[in-house]
Amino acid sequence: MEDLLTQSVPQAGLLKLTLNRPGAFNALSESLLAALKERLEQIAQDRDTRVVILAAQGKAYCAGHDLKEMRAQPSLNYYQKLFAQCSEVMLAVQRLPQPVIAQVQGVATAAGCQLVAMCDLAIAADEARFAVSGVNLGLFCATPSVALSRNISRKQAMYMLLTGEFISAQQAQDWGLINEVVPSDQLDVATLALAQKILAKPSPALQMGKKLFYQQIEANISQAYELAAQTMACNMMDESALEGVQAFIDKRPPNWH
């Protein structure tokens, strides 16, 4: 299981997880989903990790579910368990206290595109392409539609879901699925640069902010403001915020530890 998902520490506070099934285009097999969920649960408890990069080996980022594995067990019970497992992994990415950056090369299709959409931020190589192409096989990408429709507009999401066609990295950026497009040979450097910008900020603010962001976006506006006000009040009592505000008043750089 460990070989399916590798990890490295490019610098203090930063953890890079890498999908490692390049021969299968990093398809999300049951084993890879299990490995990813287990590792995310561990990272959630890791105070030393402040930012996570989710990358992949090989020519593709992720081709979605392992169709051979799916086809080998055609039963409703099996499919219900499989998609529930996948949903748990996707939610684990969003619920992770630390910000997660998708580093995308090649294609990200179906559940692979869903995985990109569930990450907090995403940077893609200019040759990357994105699709929710299940409809081409007679299977509407229902679970990917949940993440996709929370990233891009309804018309654009339905276009992708109903046609199954690929969009380019530039289209993905224009539509709001990813943050930045860079040349392939600059993907590592650009992703690291984004991670370093986040690492420079205090963790309590980032973690409280990420949790609030996803809570309020699913709430009505009154509930959203109530959640946001409570979060800001709690955030303001944190040492890093008190120091940051005082530093601003004193016209000096904050001294965060």
CATH of the domain at 213: 1.10.12.10
**31 and 9 share a domain?**
yes
**129 and 17 share a domain?**
yes
Number of domains making up the chain: 2
pLDDT tens digits, 184-230: 999 999 999 999 999 999 999 999 999 999 999 999 999 999 999 99
Q: What percent of the chain is predicted at pLDDT more than 70?
A: 99
Of 62, 74, 11, 72, nearest to 32 (Cα)?
A: 62
Alpha carbon of residue 39 to chain centroid: 14
**122 and 46 share a domain?**
yes
Residue 158 in any domain: the answer is yes
Residue 18 sits at φ, ψ, to 5 deg, of: -130, 120
**157 and 178 share a domain?**
yes
Residue 89 in any domain: the answer is yes
pLDDT tens digits, 63-100: 999 999 988 988 999 999 999 999 999 999 999 999 99
Residue 257 in any domain: the answer is no
**239 and 165 share a domain?**
no
Residue 77 in any domain: the answer is yes
pTM across the whole model = 0.95
Q: Which domain holds residue 71?
A: 2-199
Residue 48 in any domain: the answer is yes
**230 and 174 share a domain?**
no
Residue 182 in any domain: the answer is yes
Domain of 9, CATH number, reads 3.90.226.10
**92 and 17 share a domain?**
yes
Residue 192 in any domain: the answer is yes
Domain boundary among 184, 199, 214: 199
Instruction: For CA atoms 203, 186, 43, 112, give the dihedral sign.
Output: positive
Q: What is the 3-state secondary structure (H, E, C) of the chain?
A: CHHHEEEEEEECCEEEEEECCHHHCCCECHHHHHHHHHHHHHHHCCCCCCEEEEEECCCCCECCECHHHHHCCCCHHHHHHHHHHHHHHHHHHHHCCCCEEEEECCEEECHHHHHHHHCCEEEEECCCEEECHHHHHCCCCHHHHHHHCCCCCHHHHHHHHHHCCCEEHHHHHHHCCCCEEECHHHHHHHHHHHHHHHHCCCHHHHHHHHHHHHHHHCCCHHHHHHHHHHHHHHHHCCHHHHHHHHHHHHCCCCCCC
d(CA 125, CA 251): 39
